[in-house]
Chain A
């Protein structure tokens, strides 16, 4: 029971981890991308479209499907879809100096609309009775577990029973952490987010860093959408099922104090909090809704504690949300 609860928490937490790792990369370049929910949504639907087309081209027969292609095609679609969203965001905010909050919110609205449009179109094509699209075959490839997981009992279930996107999320978060802390690129990126004028004077290409960080961040976030559809929802897409996971990912960034390593644990905690209501018996519907607030409550508590401690390292990048005009130096 407890093992199942933890595994479930991890499964729920992984999309948040992708979203917040992506957002951390973007925010470290000084850009508050509130478009993350929309980008994750577009990432998910791009993967769905990709795997839908591949399944169809194989005549909807699992025997015809190449496992590697079945994974790579949706993966590539997701990366391209979410990167394009990131590109729109960076063009507007970096090149045209548009207000970041407004742009991000617009992108979220746009992304969810686009996702729902494509989702509804696919449902229409399949002439399905249900308002959803089932890609269970592709999902079975995504959800493939390590072969020895079951033979190791509880430990095996806890450590080795997850889908590969879960491991990828943790690896990406660790790599991002390492790059930010230990490499020259990370140092340069952080300086761009803290003080772009200083970075510029030091000969760093601020615009390039902002673009690349936003696009890579968006791509990472998009993977969260794909993981949600393929692993959590077992390949079933229905419009708006993704819910508020994107916003939770942004809350997780604050919870994690802009550190992807902390975000790993934070995502599991958020997943556990989201899921706790299903494991406590005798809760009414209204109390269950109360439980869904918990991740946000925890974020607020973290905000209060860090504000009180006033440690500069735990604050958001200094020029977060501000446009950089070179002429103003």
Chain B
């Protein structure tokens, strides 16, 4: 049966500042079909969908809905075209009931919550949702909240549904339930677009897959005619040579040994499970994984910032030769041992630097305890700041400029520079090149390499697989809080890492679904 195109994108381009988020994208989604948009982090999936749902407006290109050109400038416009997007971060009012959230902002004449509740119940039973309309949002599980979001768009009559990584927060059972609902909607003639990077979900759920890579459209394939290997290759692309200078590790010895580590987050959900690895001195250990797979928690657990439920973290002190158990130590004691963490979060300033303080004061955040008198010792941090500005070529009017006013790359140099200046024995750098241009990135890579030569155990969490495979000696791949593999950086391929990244424990159950 020939399917009707519900939405067509033609030559869509979106640029944020200098970054091209989407370039010349052509895409068609049909009615009665589930289309997966597959791509790595930062490949532009969410940006593209945000343009359809009215949050961004494309710089170039056209959107056609049911064959007619549509101009979507706000979420309200999108509703008019019956497009509904379910965001990764739910937009719900916690103290309202499900029903109140669903009717919020609607203008359907008389305010009658009872009638609305009946309509909600009808939608629920039509597609097989489980929902109590009277239940307050803050008492709901993540899966229930997602249900509210989906019914919210259905209530508004949406027949093109976009789901941004809907399974990221769900358990396998909940995921299966959601998929069944989505299949029912598809059979009802709706057009469903699902953004994901989980290959097995793509294969089990969707009819067609569109792949994006670094903001560009790679192609669309029919799910029935493809396989994991082909999709992975489309997703990660051909290998690009970066010519990062990688020296052979010397004097390799275990510095940090992690055994059977398990962590749970504030909501009691397991975020790290059964983590065991060794970080060696004189080696760069890369950590690869989809964003939010537990990388941050892993580093924080080592730095003492995250409660560890089970397992051991043993540190071999090179000065004394003794074994230290990091779990019994405060973050400050861990830092004193030489275990340093430089984490560059998405907003860059969030962790480690204080935006309104200048470079000198930010240096002092690490040294203010050292002073002997009651007054702050300013000389040393001042020298250090000057030193970092010169060595790392930080572009700044001076050492007394608030860090907030520096560009992102320079902020990162200050952050990484400060941690390196403390001559660490373990250096953990998470996303140190996030948002940096090529030259600044290489500067950071060289810094890490220098540390490695000095015999530091470097742990590098990165996003770009090309960099990971060229910089790191070994690469630990993490998926859904578990280690899915540790590979040799010299012999591995991007495809291998890509497959490991998308592998998770659900994969075994996939055939049952």
Contacts and interface: CB of A to CB of B under 8 A. Distances in A.
Interface of A: 182-184, 187-188, 190-191, 194-195, 197-199, 201-204, 312-313, 315, 318, 329
* Secondary structure of the A contact surface, majority rule: helix
A312 B101 CA distance: 16
A312 B111 contact: no
Given A187-B111, A203-B76, A198 B104 contact: yes
Contact of A197 (B91, B96, B107, B111): B91
Contacts of B104: 187-188, 191, 198-199, 202, 204
Interface in B50-76: 55, 74-76
Nearest to A198: B91
A104 B75 CA distance: 34
Contacts of B79: 203
B99 to A, nearest CB: 10
Nearest to B152: A202
A199 B105 contact: yes
B466 to A, nearest CB: 32
Contacts of A195: 91-94
Interface in B101-160: 101, 103-107, 111, 136, 138
A194 B91 contact: no
A198 B111 contact: no
Given A187-B103, A312-B95, A318-B94, 5 more contacts: A188-B105, A195-B93, A199-B93, A312-B138, A318-B95
Q: Across the A-B interface, give the 5 residue pairs with the lowest CB-CB distance, nearest first.
A: A202-B105, A184-B111, A198-B91, A194-B93, A203-B105
B297 interface: no
Interface of B: 55, 74-76, 79, 91-96, 100-101, 103-107, 111, 136, 138
A57 B100 CA distance: 53
Nearest to B90: A198
Chain B CB count within 10 A is highest, among A188, A197, A198, for A198
A326 to B, nearest CB: 11
B454 to A, nearest CB: 41
A315 B94 CA distance: 12
Contacts of B93: 190-191, 194-195, 198-199
B86 to A, nearest CB: 12
Nearest to B102: A202
17 contacts: A183-B111, A187-B96, A188-B104, A190-B95, A190-B96, A191-B93, A194-B93, A194-B95, A194-B96, A195-B92, A198-B91, A202-B105, A203-B79, A203-B105, A312-B138, A313-B95, A318-B95
A190 B103 CA distance: 13
A316 B50 CA distance: 32
Nearest to A314: B95
Chain B CB count within 10 A is highest, among A182, A183, A202, A318, for A202
A198 B55 CA distance: 13
Contacts of B95: 190, 194, 312-313, 315, 318
Nearest to B136: A312
Given A184-B111, A187-B103, A312-B138, A201 B96 contact: no
A312 B97 CA distance: 12
A86 B100 CA distance: 29
Contacts of B94: 194-195, 312, 318
Contacts of B91: 195, 197-198, 201-202
Contacts of A198: 91-93, 101, 104
B92 to A, nearest CB: 6
A194 to B, nearest CB: 5
Nearest to A202: B105
Chain B CB count within 10 A is highest, among A195, A197, A312, A318, for A195
A198 B103 CA distance: 12
Nearest to A195: B93
Contacts of B101: 198
Nearest to A197: B91
Contacts of B96: 187, 190-191, 194
B347 to A, nearest CB: 11
A99 to B, nearest CB: 15
A201 B75 contact: yes
B111 A182 contact: yes
Contacts of A315: 95
A199 B96 CA distance: 12
Contacts of B100: 187
A191 B101 CA distance: 9
A204 B91 CA distance: 13
